[in-house]
Amino acid sequence: MARVCQITGKRPRVGNNVSHANNKTKRKFYPNLQKKRFYIEEEDRWVTLKVSASVLRTINKNGLSSVLKKAKAKGTLVI
């Protein structure tokens, strides 16, 4: 499975390693993804999502159902 957040769509970014001599080589910045099981009360089932740490904080703050609803409206939800 790709290193992509299933709620926000965050994916690896490309940048440079810069040495002391200012040599530049390509590298990737990966999102902080975690595999987490969530319980959806409306559907009475468990789902496993690969989400970024920032989304975990958002889910704790706003609730899973509202975060999923916003992601569906935005078009980034991948389940």
Residue 59 maps to which CATH number? 2.30.170.40
Whether 5 is in a domain gets the answer no
Residues 6+ apart with CB under 8 A from 24: 16, 17, 18
Residues 6+ apart with CB under 8 A from 44: none
Whether 58 is in a domain gets the answer yes
The tens digit of pLDDT for each residue in 28-40 reads: 999 999 999 999 9
Query: What whole-number percentage of the chain has pLDDT above 70?
Result: 99
pTM of the model: 0.84
Give the total number of structural domains in the chain.
1
